[in-house]
């Protein structure tokens, strides 16, 4: 049986935060992707497209890789104690807990990143920081790996993070194959963050 990648959806998630990693992880030999939301069923992104979550928080299986996207909806979900509890519960047994953009604000608010190095969207950097000042926030990073925690900067940075995790789990060769087959110019240097100077609220 394949291992499970679980992506947490909520209303007004950012489209590419989810589908960038889906594209890069969609054909991994040992993993399959499933979507989960609080109530299951259709969930609409900020860009207005609807995706179907196969599981609700109540019937979701344990995921091996958890991915939390960001987006305008994350500003609301930091106050959703049901979602935060779901993240904490899943995180206890994941192999990898990952986020894109302000998804790290949700992980931070859930208390999952305390004392760990992490990053977030540069256009919502102060918002992320406010969720937990005990996180070792990295202002200049395309993505950050600290133990099993892999957080990325905004939107497109999630694609680079997703490939970095493929390299970590598998190897360089498979990662480069995926990038080539998707004609993606992988920014493979986590420390090269061209958007760090725009950090703001």
Binding site for a copy of itself (CB under 8 A): 14-16, 18-20, 22-23, 25-27, 32-33, 35, 42, 45-52, 121-123, 153-157, 159, 180-185, 187, 194-195, 198
- Judged by beta carbon, residue 169 or residue 196, the one nearer a copy of itself is 196
Which whole-number Å values give the CA distances from 148 to 43, 112, 188, in the listed order?
A: 28, 11, 19
Q: How far apart are the first and last CA of the chain?
A: 43
- Judged by beta carbon, residue 45 or residue 94, the one nearer a copy of itself is 45
Quick one: which of 151, 117, 112, 129 has its CA closest to 199?
129
- Judged by beta carbon, residue 35 or residue 108, the one nearer a copy of itself is 35
Q: How far is the CB of 174 from a copy of itself (least distance, A)?
A: 16
| Residue 114 exposed, middle or buried by CB count within 10 Å (0-12, 13-18, 19+) | middle
Q: How far is the CB of 7 from a copy of itself (least distance, A)?
A: 8
Place of tokens 């905004």: 154
Q: How far is the CB of 66 from a copy of itself (least distance, A)?
A: 16
- Judged by beta carbon, residue 18 or residue 84, the one nearer a copy of itself is 18
Q: How far is the CB of 69 from a copy of itself (least distance, A)?
A: 12
Tokens of 83: 């979602």
- Sorted by sequence, the CB contacts under 8 Å of residue 62 that are 6+ apart come out as 4, 90, 93, 94
- Judged by beta carbon, residue 1 or residue 185, the one nearer a copy of itself is 185
Q: How far is the CB of 198 from a copy of itself (least distance, A)?
A: 7
Quick one: which of 96, 78, 108, 74 has its CA closest to 161?
96
Q: How far is CA 68 from the centre of its chain?
A: 4
């Amino acid at each position: 049986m394949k291992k499970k990648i679980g992506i947490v959806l909520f209303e007004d998630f950012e489209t590419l935060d989810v589908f960038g990693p889906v594209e890069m992880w969609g054909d991994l030999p040992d993993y399959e992707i499933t979507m989960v939301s609080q109530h299951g069923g259709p969930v609409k992104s900020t860009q207005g497209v609807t995706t179907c979550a196969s599981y609700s928080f109540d019937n979701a299986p344990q995921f091996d890789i958890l991915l939390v996207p960001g987006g305008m909806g994350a500003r609301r979900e930091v106050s959703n104690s049901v979602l935060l509890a779901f993240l904490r519960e899943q995180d206890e047994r994941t192999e990898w807990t990952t986020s894109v953009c302000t998804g790290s604000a949700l992980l931070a608010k859930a208390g999952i990143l305390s004392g760990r190095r992490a990053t977030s969207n540069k256009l919502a950097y102060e918002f992320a920081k406010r969720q937990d000042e005990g996180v070792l926030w990295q202002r200049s990073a395309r993505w950050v790996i600290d133990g099993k925690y892999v957080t990325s900067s905004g939107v497109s940075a999630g694609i680079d993070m997703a490939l970095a995790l493929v390299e970590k789990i598998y190897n360089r060769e498979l990662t480069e194959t995926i990038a080539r087959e998707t004609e993606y110019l992988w920014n493979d240097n986590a420390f090269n963050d061209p958007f760090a100077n725009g950090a703001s609220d």
